[in-house]
Amino acid sequence: MASDRSGAGDPARTLALLWGVTAQEKPGRRGPRQAKSPAEIAAAAIAIADAEGVEAVTMRRVAQELGVSPMALYTYVPGKAELLDLMLDTVFAAVPRSAPVDGGWRARATAVADDNRALYRAHPWMAAVATSRPPLGPGLMAKYEYELGALEGTGLPDVELDAALTHLLGFVETCARMASDERAARQDSAMTDAQWWAANAELLARVFDAGRYPVAARVGSAAGEAHGGAYSPDHAYAFGLARVLDGLAVLIEECREG
């Protein structure tokens, strides 16, 4: 379960930070010139999260990386919640945009899914952040506009268009989270999945009764042999994406016929 979530900070201060809105100065008064930009702060925080996970990102740690005091950092960013939204929106702004102009909606939707998968691979910590209330910054809005274009023109009504995109991206997020779990298990055990199963094969053979679970034994063996372990992130993604697109194809056809 995600321990961090977007949209947890003060909405007004978060939106001001993301969109670069500053309070108007009073006549005759000037505040101190800011030495750090939101982009520099976001880059420092993202670098920490990429290397050590989002839990390692604290205001104190980011301030240390930037060479400023923790109190000084609060003059740029209100707090950790707003910092997280700034990180996410910065990452969203940099999402790859590889959807082909031609090739049909399925090719465009595949590109959107692949783009998001690449984003999770570059920033694994994103899979640990709940985004039910996403940061409504320029990065997210540009990403949303681009991704909607993959399904624009299919005949889906606007509500279904949004739901179809949410369904597609939810699938990618789930795959990213499972892939992150698989990497964590591999690192914790210092073994690949195949090595772990090989090391425990004798124990499993003693406790598992194939006669009692014949279908599980047959299917599990076939999948394990095909994937070199109990789970293959690449196969799960390719198989699942095809099924998601198949389902959307049915919905699109129904809308066109209706």
pLDDT at 80: 94
pLDDT at 33: 52
Strand partners of residue 164? none
pLDDT tens figures, 166-183? 999 999 999 999 988 877
- pLDDT score of 202: 80
Residues in the chain: 258
Three-state DSSP state, 257: helix
- Could you tell me the sign of the dihedral formed by the alpha carbons of 67, 70, 75, 78, in that order? positive
The 10s digit of each residue's pLDDT in 46-64 is 999 999 999 999 999 999 9
Q: How many CA atoms lie within 13 A of 197 on its CB side?
A: 13
Domains (ranges, CATH) in the chain?
Answer: 4-93 (1.10.10.60), 104-257 (1.10.357.10)
What is the CB neighbour count within 10 angstroms for residue 252? 18
Long-range Cβ contact pairs of 71-74 (< 8 A, separation 24 or more): 73/36, 73/41
At residue 190, the 3 state secondary structure works out as coil
Q: Are 223 and 143 in contact (CB under 8 A)?
A: no
Q: Quick one: three-class SS letters along 173-195?
A: HHHHHHHHHHHHHHHHHCCCHHH
Alpha-carbon distance 55 to 180, whole Å? Answer: 15
Distance CA 197, CA 230 (A): 8
Is residue 119 within 8 A of residue 126, CB to CB? The reply is yes
Strand 129-130 versus strand 4-5 pairing type: parallel
How far apart CA 99 and CA 143 sit, in angstroms, is: 12
Given this model, what pLDDT does residue 245 score?
Answer: 98
pLDDT of residue 2: 46
- For residue 214, count CB atoms less than 10 angstroms from its CB and return exposed for 0-12, middle for 13-18, buried for 19 or more: exposed
**pLDDT digit string, tens, across residues 215-238:** 988 998 898 888 887 788 999 999
pLDDT at position 26: 40
Asked if residue 113 lies in contact with residue 175, where contact means CB atoms within 8 angstroms, the answer is no
Read off the tokens for 58. Answer: 């604290």
Q: Which residues of the chain have pLDDT under 70?
A: 1-3, 22-34, 197
CA distance 97 to 116: 9
Assign 6 to helix, strand or coil: coil
**pTM, full prediction:** 0.85
Judge contact between 99 and 108, C-beta under 8 A. Answer: yes
79 vs 8: CA distance, rounded Å = 10
Helix (H) or strand (E) holding 106: helix 104-122
